[in-house]
């Protein structure tokens, strides 16, 4: 049985891509709206006008690390269940309902019901496991193995993620940080976003997705192989080796990037001058969480066109990731500048944060959508959702690391943390660069515009790209 994809395109892509775009947009609205509130809710005083749980910063950052880590651990389980038993379509509905219930449970826990708050987090963690790997896999399923539209499709899909992520803090943080409303209403807004995601998927999936995601991919692969389970071929093993080797470097990137919702969020709240004098208005700390997705929506089409314009000189995936690590390092150097100003004048300008998020975003565009596309290209069909779960599993380790690193800020100071993160990204970039040629060889033509580049080739390509 083959996958039935309805005919008809929009902007050169199957219409189902834009359904998945919208479904993911509202799910990410829910997730990022809640993420912008989590640490601030935990550290808000119990006697404040907008009461929270009264935790200290280090405790809140450790919980943030565990929560955001576990959110990316459960996709490994959800991907396996979808591949082998329930299919991607059912999985994302189950996941969406669990996450909506989790957001409303968080709202009900305020003020002061910590066990209920924990239960809400558990529901979101479980729901994300069913939802996250499977919707990404379905994007890949809309395209044939050598369809050159796939990378562009993931860039469009990534824009959907970030439209939701941009809107979320503007709505949820505005409600949550306003004492007239309170944290409760921020979480309610996040829950409403998740409900919209589920409704859109239920109403339009059959029309625009056909049979995509209905049948477990392991069963579909078995039918295509004549009912025989086959061991991994040497080529498949090489391709999986590439995925796992690149994961090592991506862990560092996400551990750095996820300071946004933790240490950088607290820094924006407590040590940044957020007052716009011309309007006598103080920017809510959570609004800075919208900078990254705003930059993505602006820059993603530019990056996509850049990769297309480079044609045969398009840098290989490992080299794009080198660029991503270096750009991330530059972003943290701006945070070092913020600390220098704050130590001398008492508060840092918000423009340091704006610049840091800009470079982090450019780094993300060189790593995250590229990595999603790479995972779908290199994974055997029978392991598609499982490997997407493994891709998200790296965020589990990265977020745990991010929480631990951020929690040392009080002991070591923000200067040491931000400077150390910048240095680590540069070191990892210098390690990855000379490995790129061998990694592309192991892809066995998955990136068909590359012919096993040498380090010299990649240096020349990088120079032209810059």
- Say what angle helices 317-345 and 350-378 make with each other, to 10 degrees: 160
Residue 156, CA distances (Å) to 137, 138, 195, 300, 335 in order: 14, 14, 22, 8, 30
How buried is 168 (Cβ within 10 angstroms: 0-12 exposed, 13-18 middle, 19+ buried)? buried
User: 29 falls in which pLDDT band (50, 70, 90)?
Assistant: very high
Looking at residue 340, what is its pLDDT? 92
77 within a domain of the structure (yes/no): yes
User: 161 falls in which pLDDT band (50, 70, 90)?
Assistant: confident
Tens digits of residue pLDDT in 55-88: 888 888 888 888 888 888 888 888 888 878 888 8
Bridge partners (DSSP) of residue 272 are 348
Looking at residue 456, what is its pLDDT? 42
Least confident of 19-28, 76-85, 180-189, 217-226: 217-226
Flag whether the pTM goes above 0.95.
Answer: no
137 within a domain of the structure (yes/no): yes
Looking at residue 76, what is its pLDDT? 81
Q: Is the pLDDT of residue 396 over 90?
A: no
Q: How far is CA 173 from the centre of its chain?
A: 19
Residue reference for tokens 């990649």: 458
Q: Is 276 helix (H, G, I), strand (E, B) or coil?
A: strand
User: 145 falls in which pLDDT band (50, 70, 90)?
Assistant: low
Residues 27 and 39: their CA atoms lie apart, in Å, by 20
User: What residue numbers bound the domain in which 178 lies?
Assistant: 12-216+232-465
The H or E element containing residue 14 is: strand 13-14
Looking at residue 7, what is its pLDDT? 72
How many residues are given for the chain? 466
Looking at residue 359, what is its pLDDT? 96
Least confident of 58-67, 72-81, 373-382, 443-452: 443-452
Least confident of 33-37, 50-54, 361-365: 50-54
Residue 55 backbone dihedrals phi, psi, to 5 degrees = -80, 160
User: 144 falls in which pLDDT band (50, 70, 90)?
Assistant: confident
Nearest partner of 329 among 430, 233, 240, judged by Cα = 430
Q: How far is CA 77 from the centre of its chain?
A: 18
Nearest partner of 293 among 192, 169, 399, 186, judged by Cα = 169
344 within a domain of the structure (yes/no): yes
Nearest partner of 95 among 24, 36, 167, 164, judged by Cα = 24
Buried b (16+ CB within 10 A) or exposed e, 384-400: bbbbbbbbbbbbbbbbb
Contact 125, 71 (CB under 8 A): yes
Residue reference for tokens 């969406």: 96
Residues 127 and 102: their CA atoms lie apart, in Å, by 8
Number of domains in the chain: 1
Contact 291, 357 (CB under 8 A): yes
Looking at residue 94, what is its pLDDT? 94
Give the percent of the chain with pLDDT over 90: 24
* Helix boundaries (H) for 234-316: 234-257, 263-270, 291-310
User: 198 falls in which pLDDT band (50, 70, 90)?
Assistant: very high
Q: Is the pLDDT of residue 147 over 80?
A: no
Q: When comparing pLDDT for 1 and 439, which is higher?
A: 439
Least confident of 140-144, 206-210, 316-320, 420-424: 140-144
HSE (CB half, 13 Å, CA atoms) of 374? 29
User: 408 falls in which pLDDT band (50, 70, 90)?
Assistant: confident
Question: Which structure tokens are listed for 405?
Answer: 């690193």
1 within a domain of the structure (yes/no): no
Looking at residue 459, what is its pLDDT? 38
Residues 365 and 331: their CA atoms lie apart, in Å, by 14
Question: Which structure tokens are listed for 185?
Answer: 């209403």
**pLDDT averaged over every residue in the chain:** 82
Residues 92 and 101: their CA atoms lie apart, in Å, by 14
* CATH value at residue 65: 1.20.1250.20
224 within a domain of the structure (yes/no): no
Looking at residue 452, what is its pLDDT? 43
The H or E element containing residue 194 is: helix 183-209
Least confident of 82-96, 327-341, 397-411: 397-411
Give the percent of the chain with pLDDT over 70: 88
Residues 413 and 336: their CA atoms lie apart, in Å, by 11
Largest CA distance in the chain: 71
User: 424 falls in which pLDDT band (50, 70, 90)?
Assistant: very high
Residues ≥6 apart with Cβ < 8 Å to 118: none
Rg of the chain (C-alpha set): 22
Contact 258, 61 (CB under 8 A): no
Most confident segment among 119-128, 155-164, 362-371: 119-128
């Amino acid at each position: 049985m083959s996958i039935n994809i309805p005919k008809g395109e929009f902007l050169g892509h199957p219409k189902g891509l834009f359904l998945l775009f919208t479904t993911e947009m509202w799910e990410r609205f829910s997730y990022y709206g809640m993420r912008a509130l989590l640490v601030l809710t935990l550290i808000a005083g119990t006697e404040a006008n907008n009461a929270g749980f009264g935790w200290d910063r280090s405790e809140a950052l450790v919980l943030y690390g565990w929560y955001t880590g576990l959110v990316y651990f459960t996709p490994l389980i959800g991907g396996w269940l979808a591949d082998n038993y329930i299919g991607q379509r059912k999985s994302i509905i189950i996941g969406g309902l669990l996450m909506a219930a989790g957001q409303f449970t968080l709202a009900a826990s305020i003020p002061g019901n910590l066990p209920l708050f924990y239960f809400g987090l558990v529901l979101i963690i479980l729901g994300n496991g069913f939802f996250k790997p499977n919707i990404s896999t379905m994007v890949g399923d809309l395209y044939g193995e050598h369809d050159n539209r796939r990378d562009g499709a993931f860039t469009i899909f990534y824009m959907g993620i970030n439209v939701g992520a941009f809107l979320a803090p503007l709505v949820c943080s505005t409600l949550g940080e306003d004492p007239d409303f309170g944290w409760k209403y921020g979480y309610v807004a996040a829950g409403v976003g998740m409900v919209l995601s589920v409704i859109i998927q239920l109403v339009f999936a059959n029309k625009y997705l056909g049979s995509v995601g209905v049948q477990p991919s392991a069963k579909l692969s078995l039918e295509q192989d004549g009912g025989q389970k086959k061991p991994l071929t040497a080529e498949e093993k090489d391709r999986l080796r590439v995925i796992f080797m690149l994961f090592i470097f991506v862990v560092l990137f996400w551990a750095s990037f996820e300071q946004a919702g933790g240490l950088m969020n607290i820094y924006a709240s407590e040590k940044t001058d957020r007052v716009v004098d011309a309007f006598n208005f103080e920017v809510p700390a959570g609004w800075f969480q919208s900078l990254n997705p705003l930059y993505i929506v602006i820059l993603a089409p530019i990056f996509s066109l850049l990769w297309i314009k480079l044609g045969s000189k398009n840098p290989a995936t490992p080299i794009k990731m080198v660029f991503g690590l270096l750009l991330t390092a530059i972003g943290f150097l701006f945070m070092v500048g913020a600390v220098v100003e704050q130590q001398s004048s008492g508060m840092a300008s918000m423009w340091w944060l704006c610049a840091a998020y800009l470079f982090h975003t450019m780094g993300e565009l060189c790593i995250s959508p590229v990595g999603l596309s790479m995972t779908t290209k290199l994974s055997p069909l029978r392991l598609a959702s499982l490997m997407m779960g493994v891709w998200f599993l790296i965020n589990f380790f990265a977020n745990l690391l991010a929480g631990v690193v951020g929690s040392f800020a009080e002991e070591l100071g923000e200067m040491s943390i931000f400077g150390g993160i910048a240095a680590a990204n540069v070191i990892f970039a210098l390690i990855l660069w000379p490995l790129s040629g061998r990694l592309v060889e192991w892809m066995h033509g998955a990136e068909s515009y590359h012919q096993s580049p040498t380090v010299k080739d990649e240096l020349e390509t990088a120079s032209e790209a810059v």
